[in-house]
Amino acid sequence: MKDLRRYLALKYIQYLVLSSSNTVSTLLGLLGSVYTMILLQSANVSSKSTAVLISSLAQADILVFLSLVSDMVWGSFGASVSPAASALARILLTANAHVSCVLLSCVAFEAYLITFLPSESRPLRTVRNARLMCRVIWTLVAAECALFLMDEHLRASGASAPSHGPLGLLFQLSSAAVALLRSLSYILGILLRIINVYIYYKIFFSMSPR
């Protein structure tokens, strides 16, 4: 459907084109996700693997909503946001960005299979596999966020903690793991951008009249 294609185009611009989200793109993304979740409940939208991926993509914006709500709640008390609340809001936005980027890449890869390997890839492009893929992505990102939260907690208590002993070792391991994970996430983000551009380049020129 045209509305779903417009929504995907908006999300590609928001997460894979813009260097960072801004207020306008965030609000447009939230409105688009709400509309898409309502649209996917319609009987006119068939239950296919692509619809499952787009539904999970729209649901990822719940994390953005929770981040905005937490900022509003803390702001309503007239006090500055605590480091813990600020870290949680930042981690929610990071989780949303990572989930969205990977799901958008899954949609692009599925479009590639539909265009170039329609019959060969049919056994793979099932609703069951799409749901399994979404669960795996959400689980990996949840584990990433748990590691970030643990590192933030250790940093907050690190000033009063000894530099040696089990806690000091845990702090060092956590910091090293978070630094490695952030580097891998950055590299993966660049690779996903390149792969998405290549996929849609191939699709566009395969469909262009010769």
pLDDT tens readout for residues 117-131: 999 999 999 999 999
pLDDT for 81 equals 52
CA gap 210, 207 in Å, rounded: 9
Domains in the chain (CATH in brackets) are 1-207 (1.20.1070)
Mean pLDDT score of the chain, rounded to an integer?
Answer: 85
pTM for the structure as a whole: 0.89
pLDDT tens readout for residues 55-106: 999 999 999 999 888 877 766 665 555 666 778 888 999 999 999 999 999 9
Task: Looking at 60-164, list the stretches that DSSP marks H as alpha helix, in order from N- to C-terminal side.
Answer: 61-76, 83-116, 127-157
Extract long-range pairs of 140-143: CB within 8 Å, 24+ residues apart.
141/95, 141/98, 141/99, 141/102, 142/95
